[in-house]
Each structure stands twice: as structure tokens, then as C-alpha cells.
A and B are shown apart, each in its own frame.
Chain A
Amino acid sequence: MSGTESTVPAASFGATPIMRLLPSLIIWSLLLSVPFWMPLVGGYTALASRVLIFGLAAMGLNLLLGFTGGLSFGHAAYFGLGAYGTGLMLKFVSGSTPLAIVVGVLVGGMAATVFGLLTIRRRGIYFAMITIAVGQMFYFIAVRWNSLTGGEDGLTGFSRTNIGFGQAVLNLHHTITFYYFTLFFFAIGCAVVWRVLHSPLGHTFVAVRENQRRLRFLGLSVGFYIWIAFALSGTVAALAGTLYALLNNFTSPQDLNWLLSGDFVIICVLGGMRTFWGPPLGATIYVVVQDYLSSITVNWMAFIGALFVVVVLFFPFGLLGLLQRRSSQ
């Protein structure tokens, strides 16, 4: 990134005045009231769940992409492993939804931790290529291992189950309940990412993005921190993947494919890679455009593509980066 650009909203560590809190308050209020206003704007609640899930996956990716500076084209692998972990757990082992989520997060998160090791010595294009290669490996496994995964047709035959709390039952089959269930995990993911970004660990990630040579000559092993970022980032993506399997009661090799990885990258860039809320904003645009335009034309991706080009050319810090710059002037 250019060093002369002086209006960049860097990771906002430092003081947090009340104006910093206001956007978050608005966002959380909107998210909490989705079932009330969604029908008024012609949407439906499951669409909002989808936004949250893609937003969470992109936010996870962005920890690596926007804040650490590692371009991964393989994060769908960890998203998809989360989804398959959850689906397989529900189908073959136990009907417990919480347990299935834990297993899905562990499967995806551990894969990111292990395969993240392969990427730490690579930089730039080689880093990106390794992430693609690893991601596609899982894709081909999912396609080939028919007996377990259902192959190209995807994994069916499982569905999310209700959660009992003594007498009370959380009815996850109810769309609105499931939305709040998803929002709960989205909030946990946000809290984790926010916590990390506002800590020495997050500062170190940003330092990796900014200048690896200086960081090394401050006494740190850069690769080690890229690995930590990769593992964390993949784990958050895996959490999103588990929710995706629960939303659809289905998962397919497409959820592991590098095309989806590319979509996650596009979502981050659209929304703003250097901002906390950029990826969820990008996901909102992506999911809504897909939902609206895909019923009109199969070429909806061309619209996203055009939008992507415009953003990259004219607003390199994404739509939220643009908004932030406007408001700070």
C-alpha cells in the first residue's frame, strides 16, 4: 500500500471517543431489530442470517487479509470444513447442535492451524498460491470421498436440532429464532476479532502488514505471527461455516471451493479491508445483490464484478473506508 496516503484509517487503536461508539450502536440496533424491519424493505429473515454468516466469514478472513496483509484465496476451505464438521457430526454422531458447532469450529480451526504452517515462509504471490492449493485439496477430498461426504451432490440428511434448557426449548426450526441464534455467534466472533485488534497481538498483526523488515529488526519472528493470524482467521471462518451448514441443513463442495474464497476476498475489499465493519458491509451488499439479481439474471456476479472494479479503482479502502474519510474531513 502507498506510504504517502495520509488519511488511511489505520486499525483504530488508541483513544475511543463517543463518536467511535455511535456507528457500533447503530449497527447492533439494526441487527437486533432485523425481524421487525426486514419484511418492510422486502427482505426475509433467512437472508439476514446469510448476511451475518458471510459477514462473519469475511471478518475472519480480514483479520489475515486486511490487518495482517496476507492474501488468502483458500479461506473457503476452513469455512467448508466447519460446515462439513457440523453436518457430519449431526448426521452420524450426535443430534446436538451446540456439540456440532464445537466440532465444526475445531475441525476448521485445527486445519487452519496446521496448514497455516505451510504458508508462513511464503510471501506475496507464493503465499496466495499455497492457500489456493491447500484449499482445493479439501475441495477434491469432499468431491471424491463420496461415501462420507455425498460427493458432488453435497451432504444431506442432517438438520439442526432444537436446544433444550431444562423445561425451555430453543426452537431453531423457527427462522427468527435461528436468526438470533446466528446473531449470538456473530457477536461472539465480532467480540473475539475486536478484542484481538485492540490488543498488542492485533497491533503486531498490523505491524506485519505495514513493514515486515522493521518488525524483524525489532526482534520478532514475522512468520510466527502470520501463522497465529492465519489460525485465528481460519477459526472464525470455520465458525461461520458451521452456521452456514445449520442454516441450509446442507453443505456441498462449493462451500470449500476457491471461488467462494475469492468471494470472501471480494467482500472484504468491497466493504473496506482496513475497517472492522467493512467485511459485514461488503457481505450485506454481496448477499443482497445476489439474492435480488440472481432471480432476474444468472449473470448477477457481473454486477458484483463491476462494483468490485469501481471500488478497487476509485475507493481502494472500500466503501466503509470512503465513508470514514468523508466523516473525518
Chain B
Amino acid sequence: MSILSLRNISRSFGSLKALSDISMEIENGELRALIGPNGAGKTTLFNLVSGFFPPSEGEILFEEHSIKGMPPEKLVQRGMIRTFQVTEIFNDLTVYQNIEIAMETALGLNLRPWLSRSRRREVAREVEAMLETVNLADQARQVAGALAHGDQRLVEIAMVLSRDPRLLLLDEPTAGMGDEETHRMTELIRHLHRERGIAMLFIEHDMNIIFDVADRITVLDNGLLLAEGTPSDISGNADVQAAYLGTEA
């Protein structure tokens, strides 16, 4: 069963056609890379899927149900969540507080002015488990906005994971990271995919990572879907090489 289907979606900004007639399917538990040069329309595709703004044309299905026009908060409740190209976290709060808020939201506690002791323990347990998952336990008491860029990324991922999504959209999760940080992020993505079976659509520029972890790759160029296939299909595709890899073609 496919978890996400795009059917002939287009999106224009004035006269600029940021996406034209894109159709694609992502299977349950699939790890899909979305690649393409800057300005290809990758983030725009995320914005449409995550409900940030609606497509000009076309249909989007999440778990076989139309989600057209649904606001982001509804989509998150249904099991789809995203990160942003520029990290969106609570900068002035500690790492712990960031994840605590996400966890309280996931547990539906936001309106509670009071929690029982057992509830408080449950929240604390879950937050600590999440800190372990993303390897931030040592930084728990630090202010999130003061962390290294890569660690801020991990905070954001921990927050979205708290919602226990079935589909995770990651917008350039390793952008601006050093080798060590990139490696940690790649391992985390692989872990979430294998151990939790979360389907992921991730935008990435680093070809090593893409060929390393992706089940399939979708290539966008200038708002058009240029190619789609397994890593070996894509690396052998002449169009892709011409438009994007810019090598021997």
C-alpha cells in the first residue's frame, strides 16, 4: 500500500511554475530521496504535502485518503510530520524542554494545568528515551539555540519523532554539517527506517548518503519530474547526469 500519492500536482507562484504535473507514490516504510538542483521545487513539494499551502492543481493522498486543503496540524495528527530546511525549534528553551513540549503534545496533554505524579513520570521517561534515541542526553540541559547546528537538527528530529509519525519528511537533514555530524544523522535515518519502519521522504544533496540509504530516488528539475528509480537506475540515467550530476553525459 502506498502511504503517499501525488496525482498530477502543480503549483505556481504568479507566473513561476514551481512544480508541474508531478505524480509519485511512496510505499509504506519506504526510504525515498528527493533530489534536484537548487530551485527545482523540492521544498515546494514538501510545503504542498505537509499542508503549508495547497497545490494549484492535482490531488494528494495520505494512506489512500485525500488530504487536499488539510491544515498542517491535522496532517500531523494523522501521522505525517516534517522538518524544515532552516531548523524550527524553540531556541530559548533547553533541549529537554523542546522535547518535553513535543512529548506532551503527542500525549495530548496541552490543556492540562496539572499532571499526576505517574503522568509526570511517564512524560519524563519518554523524553529521556527520546534523548537517547537522538543521542542528546548529555546536552539535555543546554539551551537549544546555543547548540551546534547539527545538534539543533537532532533536536528538531527528536521533536517530530515524538509524534510517532508513519511518514517523515526531512528537508536537507545534513545540510551544513561536518563529516562526523553527517555520519550520525545518516545512521539515525537508517535506524529509524529499519527499527521503526517509518517511511521517509528526504531532500538531500550528498550523493554518497543518497546512494547509501535510499530505497528509491526521485529527481526534480525545474519543477518537472525528471526521473525516478533505484539508486542504480538513477546513476545510470543520462538525463539525470546531464541535468544534475553534470558529469560524463
Contact = CB atoms under 8 A, between A and B. Distances in A.
Given A4-B146, A204-B104, A217-B76, A10 B112 contact: no
Nearest to A196: B113
Contact of B92 (A5, A195, A216): A5
Contacts of A225: 110
Nearest to B156: A214
A14 B97 contact: yes
Given A206-B93, A210-B92, A219-B105, A201 B112 contact: yes
Nearest to B78: A219
A264 to B, nearest CB: 23
A10 B73 contact: no
Given A214-B90, A219-B163, A203 B97 contact: yes
A10 B100 CA distance: 14
Nearest to A5: B92
Given A216-B72, A217-B50, A218-B163, A10 B110 contact: no
B143 interface: yes
A166 interface: no
Interface stretch (B24-32, B37-45, B81-89, B189-197): B81-89
A104 B154 CA distance: 49
A220 B110 contact: yes
B113 A201 contact: yes
Contacts of B114: 195, 199
B17 to A, nearest CB: 26
A218 B50 CA distance: 11
B105 A14 contact: no
A225 B50 CA distance: 22
B93 A210 contact: yes
Point out which of A199, A204, A214 has the most chain B C-beta atoms below 10 A from its C-beta. Answer: A214
A286 B104 CA distance: 38
A25 B197 CA distance: 52
Contacts of B202: none
B16 interface: no
Interface residues of B, number: 40
B50 A10 contact: no
B136 to A, nearest CB: 15
B93 A201 contact: no
Contacts of B113: 195-196, 199, 201-202
Nearest to B75: A219
A121 interface: no
A49 B89 CA distance: 42
Nearest to A1: B92
B77 interface: yes
A204 B110 contact: yes
A207 B163 contact: no
Interface in A196-250: 196, 199-204, 206-207, 210-211, 213-221, 225, 228
Interface in A261-300: none
A211 B90 contact: yes
Contact of B97 (A13, A214, A215, A217): A13
Contact of A214 (B77, B96, B159): B159
A13 B77 CA distance: 26
Interface of B: 50, 71-73, 76-77, 81-82, 84, 88-94, 96-97, 100-102, 104-106, 109-115, 141, 143, 145-146, 156, 159-160, 162-163
The 9 closest A-B pairs by CB, nearest first: A219-B76, A3-B91, A6-B146, A210-B90, A200-B109, A200-B104, A214-B88, A3-B145, A204-B110
